[in-house]
Structure 1
Amino acid sequence: MATRLVQINMKAHDDAALGRFWAAALGWGIDSEGPGVTNLEPLGFSYPDPAAVCLDIIARPEPKTAKNRVHLDLATTSAAHQAELVARLEELGATRADIGQGDVPWTVMADPEGNEFCVLEPRPVYGDTGPVAAVVVDCADPREMARFWGRAMDWKLHEATDEQATLRSARGVGPYLEFVRNPDPKTVWNRVHLDVRPYPGDDPATEETRLRALGATVPDFDRSAISWTILADPEGNEFCLLSPS
């Protein structure tokens, strides 16, 4: 048994407006499941497919109070493309952000609701990922996170050091999942988190038991009104185990 990373869940005060921003930023299409839920995926995409990790934007009233522990890195193909993308994103409503990054070749930005993301300088490793180069998770121990997530999902481990661990779909398509060492402690629930799905025919309850045996925990959330399972990885980052699809 295994799960697949299928989407990033992002909370927003105005899911429709934030959805329009990210759809324009990525060149993706918009699909609404109803009031308060906006889904984004590439045009012509057949969900779920590891060629892309989709965005699920959910309306929530709580304010953003801390730097997100999960963010997107956007790919570029040249220095000119990087500059053009940054300028276009600013026109769409993004702003440049200072999170203490210092003098780096990538550009740190924030979307209209303050969610941090990076526009990377051109890197050959991201040449075939699509617009999203990587989903990046801050953590204290990249090796331990790679151990957990490498067993939780059927993604392939590409690198594991004390500073960074990297996984990607075993099919060699889509964005990378990167765990980057950051000493800042987790202080609030994550406004941006991972959503994973079992494969068709797998039993969600059995999969939950397997994930908990690997080190996942059950955070203190009211689960009475939802059909999916909320878990947390070994560093307390919430994630959702969705139904098989």
Structure 2
Amino acid sequence: MKQQFMLIMLFISTIIFSQQNVAQYYFPLQIGNCWQFTEGQNIYKESRIVCDSIMPNNKKYAKIEGVYLNGYYRTEGSKVYLYQSVLKNLETVFYDFSLNVGDTVSRIVYPGTTHIITVNSKGTMKILGQQYNYLRFFRDDVKSTADGYYYVVYGLGLVSYVGELMYYSCTGAIIDGKQYGVILNVTNPAYNIPLQHSLSQNYPNPFNPETTIEYTIPANVKGETIKVTSSRAEPRDNEWCLFLPFAIRHLSRDKEINFDEIITE
């Protein structure tokens, strides 16, 4: 009887633990993980987790750089959160793996439109030569036809997107050091590592008031950007990356002022 009780407790605790940590298995966010996607016509693009970042809401996110999959993501319990500075709460739930088909994941109110994300379907699918459990999420843009379906696979993350304006699918991935599918030699545009700082800015005009300040920095630096609005100052981005881009662009609108503090080490 005692052995049966211990087995039951172990089974229950295993279920609870798996529910509490399910998002990190569906959407793995270890530094170094990468995905290669194609939209056909022998065009391949890579997305890679380059660092962990502490954002202005004091939460840690994995920074993903790439064309199709990019942004700042974190997992907590059954949810995947996406950091978005335009939102009041600075983040939104983008995926939730505890919900049933038809349930609403989130309603995201952007300036000018609203996105509603729902669980559209779940099941098994074959990708990268193997069968996997998946959930399909539908993002509805209420003001346009820019809707889309996101296929998220257990253990691999986002593997496909099907939308009105775009389609791409995963052809290979490296997750926690293990390779899935075929990894090609996808090269990003080559940059020469600068030896010193440089700064440039375009010239806005009344017909185009946007201005872009571009600067290059040597490798292995820590950067902090502070956004100043009126008399109030707040941190913008504060992150430490293993691999930093050599050129960073900030777009200033209206009367915002950005102060960039660059610390070389």
Question: Shared fold by TM > 0.5?
Answer: no
User: More strand by proportion, 1 or 2?
Assistant: 2
Q: TM-score range by the shorter chain?
A: under 0.3
**TM-score, normalised by the number of residues in structure 1:** 0.27
User: More helix by proportion, 1 or 2?
Assistant: 1
**Which has the greater radius of gyration?**
2
